[in-house]
Structure 1
Amino acid sequence: MSHPEITLDLLNQRGVGRLPGHLGIVITSVGDGQVTAELPVQPHLLAPNGYLHAGSVVTLADTASGYGCIANLPEGANNFTTIELKSNHLGTARDGTIVCTARVEHKGRNTQVWDAVVKSKETGKTLALFRCTQMILYPK
């Protein structure tokens, strides 16, 4: 990990009062080039059809990837912003917990590319594949 001072507690505190905290996302592990996060499926995360809203899944994957980027910023960088994301939804859930593991595929000075897999914690079934590109930001 580029920044060992980035802890689980610090990452989970980042989400308090923001979308990740509001949805209930919990970061469960952070390491060199990898972050794992969980999200209990609750009624407010469902679409009107009663299934998990795609936006809930994307938010989990984007959060895990973004927090991974924060923990792996290059020297001199102070932040990032997502500039592109793509998701393929292969399944859904109505209950239980979904788990996301995000892994860095490219850790450059100006961009990072993260792949994430979202699964059902109970069944292990893959629900979504996600890829995002982040632009690394530097102080002016």
Structure 2
Amino acid sequence: MRTADDFNQRAAHNLPGHLGITITHGGPDVIHAEMPVQPFLMAPNGFLHAGSVVTLADTAAGFGCLANLPDGAVGFTTIELKSNHLGTARDGTVEVTATPVHKGRNTQVWDSVVKHRETGKTVALFRCTQMVLYGKG
């Protein structure tokens, strides 16, 4: 069983680590993560960049998939993602909860809900489909 610490170590020197994303809970049926809103995450209009939000949501969904890889799988890749941005943030922390919709042998589908911690408002709804990879890594 992979833990939040395992996921954070894996992400530390990759994009999630550079953006300040921290996995706060990792399990087979839910992943929680957070990201402090910082100036380098903002769009030129002064609001949180949609790409920052998508990266947070996709990271949580990806670690959920990783925690549920079937026997013999060597990894996964995202084959489709969709996001609906309903709000934004200028400060504080955004957090995400990712849950599985489908955990199959060849594909997984995960939903992520991103919220602004301080206001409780939903920032984005996200759905991600991953293809499970087999063979040599």
Shared fold (TM-score greater than 0.5)? yes
The yes-or-no answer on 1:133 pairing with 2:129 is yes
Q: Structure 2 CA distance, aligned partners of 1:84 and 1:90?
A: 20
8 Å Cα contact 2:3-2:27 kept in structure 1 = no
Equivalent pairs, count: 136
Please report the TM-score for the alignment, with normalisation by the length of structure 2: 0.97
Deviation at 1:56, TM superposition (A): 0.1
Report matched runs for 1:1-140 at 5 Å.
4=1, 6-140=2-136
Q: Structure 2 CA distance, aligned partners of 1:95 and 1:26?
A: 17
Q: Structure 2 CA distance, aligned partners of 1:11 and 1:82?
A: 17
Please tell me the root mean square deviation across aligned C-alpha atoms, in Å: 0.7
Q: Structure 2 CA distance, aligned partners of 1:50 and 1:135?
A: 35
Q: Structure 1 CA distance, aligned partners of 2:69 and 2:28?
A: 11
Q: Match of 2:44, SS?
A: coil
Deviation at 1:90, TM superposition (A): 0.1
8 Å Cα contact 2:31-2:61 kept in structure 1 = yes
Q: Structure 2 CA distance, aligned partners of 1:133 and 1:33?
A: 16
Unpaired stretches in structure 1, ≥5 consecutive residues: none
Unpaired stretches in structure 2, ≥5 consecutive residues: none
